[in-house]
Structure 1
């Protein structure tokens, strides 16, 4: 595995360490401010990964699929970060601390609207990630060496289209709730 792949693994591990550390600091130790700081470190890790990736490419490394993951991480963090932390926060509070309300199980058109909102955020993340990938291609200055960056963008584009199609399908075939007694 190359350096960038290891950096991605380290940042992914760091992401979960900061998320869990932030939640534990907040709810187990009552350190609200420290918990917030730890949770706020998650996009910083993505930014560090993007900078390391950019430096590697600037120094002449041939871009690989591993290099193309950094812009995706930062784009997803920017667009979904607050939602992901809120999701983890609600579940930690309810399932670990036994406080607060049970997380909402959406069904029907409520689920469809929520899914569509998330899918439209996915489009925004894609646009931000694409911009960052194009900047990386510009840094490389060679379209042939940037083939993996473009390949990632194409695959991600297909995933975004599928994600949005699935969300639209929930308006046609709404997600049913569980039957009583089951």
Structure 2
């Protein structure tokens, strides 16, 4: 049931996003569109409550409980940037808004962009880690929490990979090609 609910929450996220943006830009009802977009966090609250009730009713902690925590964490960390990304594109396409800003390609501007991206992913992973730890404490049985611990290890990998990427762009920034800068070699 929890895996089905996760799939429904993901589908609901995209349906609410599409409906909110359509109301905002196509139907010309920005307040109603914003209200629909603000309903998206309710999906994660429902998932959190159902997962907690499932554990409280004696369900053995499993991969599905860990996946629910990870899904909620990633929605917290990446949901707003996804909505902003889609909003910029729909505003440009349907409301005459400016073209979406592309991320910088070179130098310190690119490194700063990578650190902002890493911060969102790290927030997602830390939120998932916290939810997984809360579930482990809630269950209390160390032997039964192995699937939750496995998800925690994966979230630590997510943090590490994102830190490596951001550090790589900081320590080894891409240089703008010579033909773009106008200098000769």
TM range (shorter): 0.7 to 0.9
TM-score by length of 1: 0.88
Structure 2 length normalisation: TM-score?
A: 0.86
Instruction: Supply the distance in 2 between the matched residues of 1:61 and 1:75 (Cα, whole angstroms).
Output: 21
| Offset of residue 47 of structure 1 | 1.4
Could you tell me which of 8, 18, 22 is aligned with 1:10? 8
Counterpart Cα distance in 1 of 2:174 and 2:63: 36
The 5 Å alignment of 1:36-115 reads 36-94=34-92, 96-97=93-94, 99-105=96-102, 106-108=104-106, 109-115=108-114
Q: 2:128–2:155: 8 Å Cα contact kept in structure 1?
A: no
Q: Which runs of 5 or more residues in structure 1 are unaligned? A: none
- Residue 100 of structure 1: how far off its partner (Å): 1.4
Structure 2 CA distance, aligned partners of 1:119 and 1:147?
27
- Provide structure 2 residue ranges, at least 5 long, that are not aligned to the other structure: 181-185
**Structure with the greater alpha carbon radius of gyration:** 2
Root mean square deviation, CA, Å? 2.0
Q: CA deviation at 1:98?
A: 5.7
- Please report how far the alpha carbon of residue 11 of structure 1 lies from its aligned counterpart in structure 2 after TM superposition: 0.6
Residue aligning to 2:183: none
8 Å Cα contact 1:43-1:81 kept in structure 2: no
Q: How many residues align?
A: 176
